[in-house]
Structure formats: structure tokens, C-alpha cells
Amino acid sequence: MAVTSNSALSYLRTRSVVDCDTLDAKVAQALGPFQDCTSNQAIAFFELSKPEHKELLAESHLRAGSLLKSMAETKDPRFAGIELDELAIEIATVKVAIQVTTHLQGKMHIQTNPYYAYSTEKTIANAFRIVYLFKEFAPNWESSRICIKIPSTWEGMMACRTLQLAGVHTLATTLFSMPQAILAAEVGCTYVAPYVNQLKVHFEPGFVDRNKLFSLCVAIQKYYKSIGAVTQVLPASLTSTDEVLALAGVDHITVAPPLLELLSLPDCPITQSFFDNDIAGLLALPKTSYLKDEAAYRIAFTRDLAGASEEKLTQAINIFCDMQDKLIALIKSKSE
């Protein structure tokens, strides 16, 4: 589908960097150019469940077995304790991601296993393993263009700190609050992904989030600009073209294929952006560094919106764990 110059998608590209939220290379090719491409366990499951990837899944399972055997001999810490099916899913995800990279100008984002959300050590190992797999299967693709998506727990953001210092780009995902955003900037994340809607809007039919976080996206970007942070704002979890266009002016924005298609139509109306309103003064900010005071960060996050932000994070991690389980079941079914 050709994107016309007078479409809402073309307008959006004049105000924000537009990324695609998919692992379908055909979408990236048809509706690009895109800067980055984002993904997660739900997106990976949707893509890998397609019949055309049956052989890829079987090949990934075989490759995982041989790789585990060779890594056991070298005792590579990136592969310590990982199960065969989990590694096979990581290989399959990286392989479909590589197919998308041809149509990108920037980075490919891969999310770590959500079961590691509260383990800094396992998240770091998972991230370095993903980087290794990209080098293994796409040796000519620049590894600096890999971005690791990590849930915005305290442990996850400590992993982001280590990875950023090692030269690996990170995105703090499932972010619902200013305390999370402040800590993400302190650890040097390349991006943060505020979820405008709770993740369950995509999984629970009929559920509508009555507290969409448009103003938080504006406040975070204003705060980052005010302190000269390198971290960029990349909102996610959007459910309509109006919601996407309401964020025109944000640094980056990631958009799912159905919404990209609607935005590319010439008759898609352009609505006003929250970034055009003077609505968000800086929210109450900490007097001390969260990075140096874990307890202060934890209580600030727990208290945010009377616990609602923490609840949303827990809910999102649970949903992504469910999708990780579905990926494992998928690879088992294709390898038997």
C-alpha cells in the first residue's frame, strides 16, 4: 500500500519519528520507511504462529540444541541455565526480526523474557544473548542497531544501566509513571515506552482504559528536555488513529499495522495533539537521585496514583509471561 503525501501518516512523520510495532517484514516494506521496529512476546507469537514460519520454528529448535551443546563446552554465561525451548523461541524471534531490518533506517527492538523482569542478572544475560544471536545470524548487520526492551522494574532498569555502559541500547518498556521515567533517564536508557493504555486493552474484549496517559508522555518529554537527558520518549499501546495523532510531536512513536494502514488512507482525519496544548507543567520531582536511593524509588512508584501505576506494571508483566508461555507451547508443538 502506497503512503500518499497528504495522509495522516505523512503528517505524523513531519512531527515525530514513526516506528512500526510488528515482526512482519511485508508491513515494514509496504508502509515504510520506518526508523525503528518494536516487538514483544505477543507480537512474536502472532508472527511465528503464521503457517509460513513452520519450517523456521523447526530449524530454530534444531539450532538451539546444537548451540546449547557447544556453549556448554565453553561455559558461556549468556547461555547458562536457559532451556532448549526458550532458546529456540529467541532464535526464531531474532530470525524473523532480521527479515524486517532490511526496511529499517534505525534500530530493531527485541524484548527480554518477562519471567526475568525481577532479575537483573538474568535480564543482562538475556540481552547479551540476543545480541549474540543477531551477530550469529546476521553478521553483516551492525549490532549497535539492536535495542533491548526491558520491563521497567527496579531490577530491569539496573540491567539497563549495565547494558548501556556496555554499549547496548535499551528501552524501558511497560512504563506508567514519572518515577519510572526519572530512573530510566538516570540509568541512561536510549528510550522509554510509556503505555498510553493498560496492556490489557489488547487482550480483554470490551475493556477501555479510562485513564489514558497522554499527559504523562508530554510531561516526561518536557522533563527530559529540561535536564538534557539523552533518553527519548517512545509511547506505545495505542488503540486508534486518534490516539496516535494525539501524540504528534513526541520524539518517537510506535504504531501497530492496522493503525498504520488506517493512517495511510487519504481520508484519515488529523486530530489535535496533546503536544500542542500547554497542559503539563513538570510533575513533583524527587529531591534526591533515585539511582542512589532504591527505597525512595520503590515507595515513590508504589505511591504513584495510589498504587495504580504499580498495578498496571504487574498486569503487563503477567500478560507478557502468558504470551511467553504460548510461545513455548508453540515451539514444542512444531518440534514434536
* C-alpha span between 310 and 189 (Å, rounded): 20
- 260-271 pLDDT, tens digit each: 999 999 899 999
Give the mean model confidence (pLDDT) for residues 201-230: 95
Q: Residue 335 pLDDT more than 80?
A: no
Strand partners, 285: none
Tens digit of each residue's pLDDT (9 = 90 or more) over 280-329: 455 567 777 999 999 999 999 999 999 999 999 999 999 999 999 999 99
Determine what percent of the chain is predicted with pLDDT higher than 90.
89
Check pLDDT > 80 for residue 4: no
Phi, psi of 14 (to 5 degrees): -80, -15
Q: Does residue 2 surpass a pLDDT of 70?
A: no
Residue 120 domain-assigned (yes or no): yes
Report the CATH number at residue 280.
Answer: 3.20.20.70
Per-residue confidence (pLDDT) for residue 87, from 0 to 100: 97
Does a structural domain hold residue 61? no
| Confidence band for 5, pLDDT divided at 50, 70 and 90 | low
Full domain range(s) for residue 312: 8-40+105-327
Q: What is the mean predicted confidence (pLDDT) over 21-46?
A: 95
**Of 95, 107, 149, 334, which one is the catalytic site residue?**
149
Model confidence at 198: pLDDT above 90: yes
In a domain, 53, yes or no: no
DSSP 15-59: HSEEEEE-S-HHHHHHH--BS-EE--HHHHHHHHTSGGGHHHHHH
- Looking at residue 99, its pLDDT comes to 96
Specify the pLDDT at position 298: 97
pLDDT of residue 117: 98
Q: 191: closest CA among 252, 221, 232?
A: 232
Residue 178 in any domain: the answer is yes
Q: Is 135 a catalytic residue?
A: no
Q: How confident is the model at residue 277 (pLDDT cuts 50, 70, 90)?
A: confident
Q: What's the pLDDT tens digit per position in 170-189?
A: 999 999 999 999 999 999 99
pLDDT by residue (tens digit) across 311-325? 999 999 999 999 999
pTM comes to: 0.95
What would the DSSP string read from start to end of 243-276?
Answer: HHHTTTTSSEEEE-HHHHHHHTSTTPPPPPPGGG
Mean pLDDT of the residues in the chain: 94
pLDDT of residue 284: 62
Give whole-number Cα distances, 153 to 120, 159, 172, in Å: 9, 10, 9
Q: How many domains does the chain have?
A: 1
Q: What is the pLDDT of residue 281?
A: 55
The C-alpha cell of 69 is what?
Answer: 551443546
